[in-house]
Structure 1
Amino acid sequence: MPLTEIPLRIWRTRGQTFRFNGHAVRYWTAGEGEPLLLIHGFPTASWDWNFLWQPLANRYRVIACDMLGFGDSAKPLRHQYSLIEQADLQQALLQRLGQDRPVHVLAHNYGDSVAQELLARHLEGRFAMASCVFLNGGLFPETHRKVLAQKLLLSPLGWVFSRLFSRGSLDKSFSEIFGPDTRPSESELDDLWGLIAANKGTRIFHRLIRYIPERVEHRERWVAAMQAGGVPMRVIDGAVDPISGAHMVERYRQLIPDADSVLLPGIGHYPQLEAPVLVLRHYLAFRETLGAAQSDPHGAALSGTIQWGSG
């Protein structure tokens, strides 16, 4: 049964604002129970989670924000954007909301790197993480395959390309990274573009894209945190994503002990938009596994195999 979209105009009315390092940040909360932090990717925003929002809010206390430089949050022109600061932002939001319980995390793309930083902080005693699920993202710099737009933004003329980026550019980029049968509609692209263009967002693309070399800088610490164990993890990944698809999952299985991974055939870089029913099914199955393991400390969690989704 398909999940219901929350129209962007409705989504925007439900957001709230707080100040972080002097900047306005939009955030959303819903539901009750264990806190579940949703962390969006580049270049979009928290509305990426709209299909999953209500089903997850029926079970958990869901929390999400448009990170600094994204969506309806502030996009300061000369800011030095950093994944480390975005992790600080997530912690500041949780503190504002009085969340002092261990937090479950569901992240995508750029958000995967923020989640990796939070995982490293968990091991350092600076954050309490209960579990982490990654959707398509560059968990390992050596497997990240940059598309043309990313290469241009990283070039010395990135600032020029950033200002020239348009609704047509988004359409072309997304046609390359979505699954062949799951590409966004014109209406969805209009809404995604509206979030990107809000607050003159295209002026800072070349600054936001610095997350790619930042991943290289922190690779060893982040991968070591993933290998340390202690925090249950799963990857749910669109297999045909040219940036971080099946090839990234293969590397995940090579590096992470007892790797728990799910591949979604025919799905690209945005599984939460392309196949939200499958993402929800595999996420809830992961959480049920955690519950079973807690009730039976001798029980074994599902791991070590790739589960193939079906549409």
Structure 2
Amino acid sequence: MRPELDRWRARGSYFDHGGHRIFYRREGSGPALLLVHGYPFNSYDWHRIWCDLTAHYDVIAPDMLGMGFSDKPIRHRYSVFEHADMHEALLRHLGIEHTLLLAHDLGVSVTQEMLARRLEDPARSPAIDAVIFLNGGLFIEVYRPRLVQRILESPLGDVLGPLTPRPVAAAAVREMFGPGTKPTGDEMRLLLEVLFSGNGRFVNHRVGRFNAERKTYRERWGEPLVRNIVPMRLINGPVDPNSGAHMAARYRELVPGPDIVSLDNIGHWPQLEAPQAVFAAAHAFLRRHAP
């Protein structure tokens, strides 16, 4: 494994959740800040803003089941609900009673489920004090999955998913970035090494089938946003083909008093494409709402 990934993993820890080993990193001091990564990568997605965040916050960044350095069981039905269970269990494991959240992509849906649970039980612990969303499928009715996603989410995915060559995966990832912020060859090789490590080749398409849950639970996951149950900010890369400017427009329509920061010419991975701008926008918001 490449040295950058070896160092990232060496500085982390593991805890058991449902009989599976879950990798996480914890570093820094200050208010707790939970980072909820997206699909298909892992906590390494945060590496470009890691030092800035850990200078101000007690940062906790796990890898979800089926991704990164956590276990990747092959015969498993991956679920947003299970991912939410894991994040809550990790916070309890670490003795954290209050947290801020920064979420991206799949992590957006995981966070929405965590907020929905607090609508059902306002005293649920750990408490969530404020949330920042990066690009993700906040409102499934305007989410735009690409052809490759639709194929992998279909029964064909069970056949084609494990056969996906790295150049095809790289092309699918690259088109999600902004025109001037696409990853270099070395950067892409790092991302793909995380993606295909362990059983990655056999589970990536299974982990990626969360859009069906987004459709089924659209009202459940939309309600906490519409009701503004915690302070929220959306930091949006508008040229993201999945959830760019059109998702921000829907957010503006439905969320009362929407707080939106749009980053010009940035795509699906703002934290990788414009790390300084993301940190500045995130920190300015979070420090106002930290417990």
Does the TM-score normalized on the shorter chain lie above 0.5?
A: yes
> How far off its partner does 1:15 sit?
1.1
Aligned-residue Cα RMSD (Å) equals: 1.4
* Aligned-partner Cα distance in 2 for 1:48–1:111: 12
* Aligned-partner Cα distance in 2 for 1:9–1:58: 22
More off after superposition, 160-169 vs 189-198:
160-169
* Aligned-partner Cα distance in 1 for 2:165–2:181: 22
> How far off its partner does 1:99 sit?
0.7
Q: Please name the residue that 1:96 is paired with.
A: 93
Q: Deviations over 1:73-94 (max 9, x none)?
A: 1010111100000000001111
What pairs up with 1:127-146 in 2 under 5 angstroms? 127=125, 128-146=127-145
Q: Deviations over 1:50-95 (max 9, x none)?
A: 1111111111100011100001110101111000000000011111
Q: Deviations over 1:201-245 (max 9, x none)?
A: 121123212200101111101111111123000000101000000
2:66 to 51, 60, 69: 69
2:82 to 64, 82, 85: 85
Q: Deviations over 1:240-279 (max 9, x none)?
A: 0000000000000000000101111110000100110110
Does the CA contact (< 8 Å) of 2:238 and 2:245 recur in 1? yes
1:219 has 2:215 as partner? no
* Aligned-partner Cα distance in 1 for 2:289–2:24: 27
Q: Please name the residue that 2:159 is paired with.
A: 160
Does the CA contact (< 8 Å) of 2:240 and 2:267 recur in 1? yes
What pairs up with 1:5-24 in 2 under 5 angstroms? 7-24=4-21
* Aligned-partner Cα distance in 2 for 1:39–1:237: 16
Which structure is higher in RCO with an 8 Å CA cutoff and minimum separation 6? Answer: 2
1:123 to 114, 119, 124: 119
What is the letter of the counterpart of residue 154 of structure 1? E
* Aligned-partner Cα distance in 1 for 2:225–2:274: 26
Q: Please name the residue that 1:307 is paired with.
A: none
* Aligned-partner Cα distance in 2 for 1:143–1:237: 15
Q: Secondary structure at the match of 2:77?
A: coil
* Aligned-partner Cα distance in 2 for 1:271–1:82: 25
Q: Deviations over 1:28-59 (max 9, x none)?
A: 00011211000100001000001111111111
What is the letter of the counterpart of residue 120 of structure 1? A
Report the TM-score when normalising by structure 1: 0.89
Q: Please name the residue that 1:281 is paired with.
A: 280
What is the letter of the counterpart of residue 251 of structure 1? R
Q: Please name the residue that 2:194 is paired with.
A: 195
> How far off its partner does 1:285 sit?
1.5
* Aligned-partner Cα distance in 2 for 1:201–1:7: 19
The list of structure 1 runs, each at least 4 consecutive aligned residues, that deviate by more than 6 angstroms after superposition, is: none
Does the CA contact (< 8 Å) of 2:129 and 2:289 recur in 1? no
Does the CA contact (< 8 Å) of 2:40 and 2:208 recur in 1? no
Number of aligned positions between the proteins? 286
Q: Please name the residue that 2:106 is paired with.
A: 110
Does the CA contact (< 8 Å) of 1:153 and 1:205 recur in 2? no
Report the TM-score when normalising by structure 2: 0.95
* Aligned-partner Cα distance in 1 for 2:26–2:148: 33
Identity of aligned residues (%): 46
Does the CA contact (< 8 Å) of 2:24 and 2:62 recur in 1? yes
* Aligned-partner Cα distance in 2 for 1:7–1:238: 26
What is the letter of the counterpart of residue 241 of structure 1? D
Does the CA contact (< 8 Å) of 1:36 and 1:63 recur in 2? yes
* Aligned-partner Cα distance in 2 for 1:198–1:215: 27
Q: Please name the residue that 2:38 is paired with.
A: 41
Does the CA contact (< 8 Å) of 1:174 and 1:183 recur in 2? no
What is the letter of the counterpart of residue 173 of structure 1? A
Q: Deviations over 1:139-185 (max 9, x none)?
A: 01111101122011012211122111232122211221100110011
